[in-house]
Amino acid sequence: MHSSKAPIRVLIVEDQELVRVGLKTVLAKTEGLEVAGTASDGRDAVEQARSIVPDVIVMDIGLPFLNGIEASKQIKEARPETKIVMLTSHDDEEHVFAALGAGVEGYCLKESSGGLLTSAILSVSEGAAWLDPGIARMVLESTREGRQKVNSELAGLLTKRELEVLKQVVDGRTNQEIADGLFISIETVKTHMRHIMEKLRVTDRTQAAVKAMKEGLI
């Protein structure tokens, strides 16, 4: 958790200079955020992620040398605690699931308002997943058939309590919020999350939430 005395350090990765400058201007004016650096290609993003150690990276997908998805994978391998918000004009299912599969915590469309991007940054910094409302609708629509045909094998692997915790994750709750809502300790929540990720064969809570929707578990 970040206190008011410790601003969230953000790295902006965008190859278009006007967009990059615009993002920097918007985020620099936002209380609680600090623009720690900018990068214009994927290779530079990976290097800066290692050198300046940002809390959150705002990452474009279409980057020179190394695209945003590959750059995100490399960054997550080196520093899994770094949160990534994918910022892009792509709203098709292939790009969305590829980005989420790379381990990013947020997905925000470029045409969204600065306020939505700020919300995404704040949310992922606190441990929650964040999807642009338009993207969330698309994900839900694409998984409607899956929700009607529940994967009974996966559902049978999870306990009733694990399903309750998973539903809270899908709703964007942090571990502390889940603990408070279910009247259990945060350590118990972490234990449930570890078991859920092992059973679903995923590596982070965002992938767990996406798989839960795709397989009709929630």
> What is the full DSSP assignment across 38-107?
EESSHHHHHHHHHHH--SEEEEESS-SSS-HHHHHHHHHHH-TTSEEEEEES--SHHHHHHHHHTT-SEE
Residue 175, H or E segment: helix 175-182
What rounded mean pLDDT belongs to the chain?
A: 84
CATH number, domain 8-132? 3.40.50.2300
* The two three-digit tokens of residue 181, written as one number: 């809502």
* Mean per-residue pLDDT, 3-22: 87
Q: How far apart are CA 71 and CA 46, in angstroms?
A: 6
Q: Where are the domains of the chain?
A: 8-132, 143-214
List C-alpha distances in Å: 117 to 92, 146, 212, 215.
19, 29, 25, 28
Hey, what's the torsion of the CAs at 107, 113, 119, 121, to 10 degrees? 50
Q: What are phi and psi of 128, to 5 degrees?
A: -95, 160
Q: Quick one: tokens of 101?
A: 């599969």
Give the pTM: 0.65
Q: Residue 148 above 70 pLDDT?
A: no
Residue 119 reports pLDDT greater than 80: yes
The residues, ordered by sequence, that sit 6+ positions from 79 with a Cβ below 8 Å of its Cβ are 49, 50, 53
Mean per-residue pLDDT, 128-150: 67
Report pLDDT digits (tens) over 84-117: 999 877 666 667 777 777 788 888 888 777 788 8
Architecture of domain 143-214: Orthogonal Bundle (1.10)
Q: pLDDT-based confidence at 167, cuts 50/70/90?
A: confident
169 pLDDT more than 50? yes
Domains 8-132 and 143-214 share a fold: no
pLDDT at 150: 59
